[in-house]
Chains A and B, each alone.
Chain A
């Protein structure tokens, strides 16, 4: 049943400082809403349980991106359309630009935000495994101050995170250190690219160092309660000859590391099999040196 707007409140404090003061004074009372592409879907269906919402739209501090020679800080309210256009992201973090192009259709990319996707903590968020393989950090802010945390520690369970009730995500920080010879891989398997949530998702980076797997980082979506970094599979692969069926070695570890479920979009068995195949595709790509 459609939600009754009369029983919901939404406020838009004039400044970010005012917004932080509000959630400091009344923690747990207010649910932030940015682009609305997740919360408004629940609201329209009459299923949004929080009744008091705090609009984060319009705070310039959250929309800016700042590039220094060593890092790129992406404001949490940066939209997927902004990400697709951003020259540093396109050149140095191509998987993020590609994931952004798969998120919803154009209208949703114009509204949906990277910070919102992280805070919503969906196990199927297209950009989240990519942030894991790029070793992103998050800058969290509150009226008390700020803290920098590795993104890999952010999600603690299905739609749960370490974000305190008085905190907001300020920005997503990516390290720009040179990645010579690094290969970037991402694949989404879903009913279609636009407007369909993934069934299985793998993001991966790594190098071919004298025929061996090197600096491998893997992260998967939709195969567990949160997007996960596949640390054990990475360790199993590191230093292994790429010409000697590395997948055979890694796939047992991979199967132990993921916890896919049967749900409306797919089955656990399908997800495990496809993820293994995606890893095989990445390793095959890595085995072939880049043509100069």
Chain B
């Protein structure tokens, strides 16, 4: 069916990802998610639902959280992108990554990169969040393993706050 339709030309799209400039030759409607994983080989960004519900494909896009499955790559031209691979500095994990490790906030791990990036955005806006704020900040990220408690604890730990029980 699709082979009978005229094919679009590939275009050059330029962006920075984790500080490095990249130029990719792609179809303009390819999803940023697929370009990151397949062209840039940054497979930390996961595909869960592929429809903007689960947050597994979250990246920071021009400094704000976005679902990379909903971004046609042409719209990333000129953008600054940070994926989970861009958080650690050399051998030092980002404090949120360290807290997820220590709190056992990951099980299968598919949601973890998105959870951590959503938490990065949350702590940038609200450095000392309460439980309600953590829940809202992560409301677009679904986890089917942990039941969320350890995830919320990890975010609180990274922020240096105690969660009231």
Tell me the A residues contacting B by CB distance below 8 Å: 2-12, 33, 35-37, 40-41, 43-45, 51, 53, 55, 57-58, 81, 104-108, 110-111, 193-195
Contacts and interface: CB of A to CB of B under 8 A. Distances in A.
A6 B8 CA distance: 5
B70 A36 contact: yes
Contacts, number: 114
A45 B67 contact: no
Interface in B68-83: 69-72, 74-75, 77
Given A5-B31, A40-B31, 11 more contacts: A5-B8, A5-B27, A6-B2, A7-B7, A9-B29, A12-B77, A33-B72, A35-B70, A40-B71, A44-B51, A107-B118
Contacts of B28: 5, 8-11
B5 interface: yes
Contacts of B61: 110
A11 B71 CA distance: 14
A51 B70 contact: no
A3 B30 CA distance: 9
Contact of A51 (B5, B30, B69): B5
A106 B5 contact: no
A44 B69 contact: yes
Nearest to B51: A41
B86 interface: no
Contacts of A51: 5
A6 B7 contact: yes
Interface of B: 2, 5-8, 26-31, 50-53, 55, 58, 61, 64-67, 69-72, 74-75, 77, 118, 121-122, 136-137, 139-142
B50 A110 contact: no
Given A57-B75, A195-B139, A195-B140, A37 B70 contact: yes
B65 A106 contact: yes
B51 A45 contact: yes
B137 A106 contact: yes
Nearest to A11: B28
A48 to B, nearest CB: 9
A111 to B, nearest CB: 5
A37 to B, nearest CB: 6
B8 A108 contact: no
Contact of B27 (A2, A6, A108): A6
Given A5-B27, A5-B30, A108 B72 contact: no
Contacts of B139: 105-106, 193-195
A271 B148 CA distance: 31
B136 A40 contact: no
A107 B7 contact: no
Which 10 A-B pairs rank lowest in CB-CB distance, beginning with the nearest? A105-B140, A194-B139, A5-B27, A10-B28, A8-B29, A40-B70, A110-B64, A5-B30, A7-B5, A41-B51
A195 to B, nearest CB: 6
Given A7-B5, A55-B72, A81-B64, A43 B77 contact: no
Contacts of A37: 52, 70
Contacts of B6: 7
Contact of B67 (A5, A11, A81, A108): A108
A57 B61 CA distance: 13
A77 to B, nearest CB: 12
20 contacts: A5-B26, A7-B6, A8-B27, A10-B29, A10-B72, A10-B75, A11-B28, A35-B70, A40-B52, A40-B71, A44-B70, A55-B75, A105-B55, A106-B137, A107-B55, A107-B140, A108-B67, A111-B67, A111-B70, A193-B139
